[in-house]
Structures are given as C-alpha cells and as structure tokens.
Structure 1
C-alpha cells in the first residue's frame, strides 16, 4: 500500500462499565454497556471502513466491548491487546499509532477517556461541520467512536494531521 493513499483511525471508547468490587482494570461491562457495544459494532460496520487491525486496551471492559462489537463486522480484523492503551495520554496513544506497519490502512483503537476524546480533538486539524457539531454537543460518552482520515505513513500521525469525518454515540 502506498503512503499516499488515505488511512483511517477509528477511536472507540469502551462501553458502559459496571462498578463491582474489583480493580479498575478488571471492571466488566454493565448490562447497558453490552447492548451499546453491540450497537456500536453495527454502526461501525455500517461505516464501511474495513478495519485491518484493532488495538485494544487490556482492561476487561475494553476487551468485552470489542468482543461484542466485532461480532457485527463482516470480517474479523487482527486484534492486538496493548497494555499501553490502558490509562494512556494522547501522546502515548500517538506513539502506539506511530508503530503501526505501513501495510495497514485502517486501524481501530479501543480505549478509555479522557484519552479517546482528547486524541480525537488533538488529531483533528479539520472536521466536517455537522460531525464537529455532533461531537461538540455529545462529547465522547461510553461506546462512542470517531473516524479520522489522514494521508502519509503511520509514523506521520501527529496533532492536527487528520480530518474528523464521522462520529457516533449511543443515545441516552
């Protein structure tokens, strides 16, 4: 694949988690989270973005979100469980993306807030007006996702380099 072809980054926040007496890393999804994860998977599949690889935080809630969402996809992409995504800053998330091989075109990151929302804001140098308005109105609730495009190598992912082209969040 040429680095001149557009690439997509899908930033996907885990679905609603429960609060049982376990460590934060081991929190499972709540009932609503399981429903929202499946719906987010359907919506992601509807975008038509063929995901080449998913980079998923190692937390229980992100793994469970991905397991439910990916069932809605026409094909299952390779999944890499990445410890560095858990509780990552936008800079740490960019560093993970910069390591992506250039033969991959579309990558999905399943992570946590505030990282997913902040990374969307930082990477989006431009945005379609109605998409920007929706994200400004809704924020980045659980099970939300943003789709960004950019041209170049994954090593070139940096602030302001991408365009925000799609956004979805479940209804409350």
Structure 2
C-alpha cells in the first residue's frame, strides 16, 4: 500500500512588497502553524521515503518551519511543475514517483492540492473528504492511501486517512482577519 501526504504551504504574507507571487514569504502566523504541524507530524511518527515540493519561497519557508517542529530534514526534490499546478499536473508528478517509494510527501499550493484530493477520493459519505471540499487551509495535511503502484493511481482510487488543519491543533491558528 502506498501513502501520499499532501502538504499545503503555510500562510503567506500578502503585505510583503515582493515583485512576483513566486517570491512571497510566510507571515508570522504561517511560521507558527507550520512548526506546530511539524511537531504533530513527529508525534504521529510520519516518515517519507520520497518528497517533492514547489520551489516557491513560501513552500521553502514552510518546509523550514515544518522541519524545526518535525525534528528531521525532509530535503524534497524541487519541481517547478508543482508551482500553482492543477490536479492533473500534480497527478502526473505523482505518477512519476519512484516505484520503491512507499510513503511520499508532496508540498504545494491550492487549488491544485484540494482538487487532487477530491479527484482521487471517491465522493461519498466521508466526513474527511467533506472537510477537504469545504476548505483546504494553509499548512494543512491530507494523507491518502492507495493499492498498487504510483503509476496506477487514478480517479476515485484513494482512501483519505487523515486531514489535519492547523486550527485542529491550536484554535488560535484558525481563520481570522489577518
């Protein structure tokens, strides 16, 4: 069984005067949320034998904070295709994961990550899927499991086993006006 964990970058700073969206950094709340999610990942004993991430600044900064809480280096391969990718493009990336990888991490952006979960997990009476469909907030992780190999993953073939939002770990990390 293969496990795919999807991590959306943490909350970024829209007030930062960067010239390109690609260069937008995290804000203070995003840094705090990512570190907390990293600590939670460590407490769950999550491990990855393959990782791919968008090269955007907010993703790199998210990973730095995740690693500080997680207590280990993730060191993903950076893949420009993941930056603001559609679900179809993300699925193409997943199809290319090494066959020997059992547990992989994909770090990127919405709406692609949310759409990928909704594509891969069949619609039905699943409260976790419903929560993803409602909103896939920044710094949230979704864990999906599949039978078979990475290349055979297709629409409706996944089971969503976890969906963890920062506000589930600390209510102060929930929605606000910042």
Length-normalised TM-score, structure 2: 0.86
Please give the per-residue CA displacement for 1:50-78, whole angstroms capped at 9, x wherever unaligned.
21122110000001101110233354344
Q: How far is the alpha carbon of 1:134 from its aligned partner?
A: 3.9
Q: What corresponds to 1:118 in structure 2?
A: 115
Q: Secondary structure at the match of 1:72?
A: helix
Q: Among 136, 139, 142, which residue is 1:143 paired with?
A: 139
Match of 1:95 in 2: 92
Aligned pairs, number: 166
The question of 1:30 aligning with 2:27 is answered: yes
Query: d(CA) in 2 for partners of 1:45 and 1:84?
Result: 28
Once the two structures are TM-superposed, the CA of residue 48 in structure 1 deviates from its matched residue by: 2.4
Q: 1:61 aligns with which of 46, 58, 63?
A: 58
Q: Tell me how far 1:126 sits from its aligned partner.
A: 6.7
CA offset at residue 43 of structure 1?
A: 1.9
User: Which residue does 1:165 correspond to in 2?
Assistant: 161
Equivalence for 1:85: 82
Return the match for 1:10 from 5, 11, 29: 5
Alignment equivalent of 1:156, drawn from 152, 155, 161: 152
Q: Give the structure 2 partner of residue 104 of structure 1.
A: 101
Pick the structure with more strand per residue: 1
| Matched residue, 2:170 | none
Q: Deviations over 1:59-106 (max 9, x none)?
A: 000011011102333543441011100010001000001111111111
- The verdict on how the C-alpha distance between 1:18 and 1:98 changes in structure 2, with shifts beyond 3 A counting, is same
2:99 & 2:6 partners in 1: Cα distance?
18
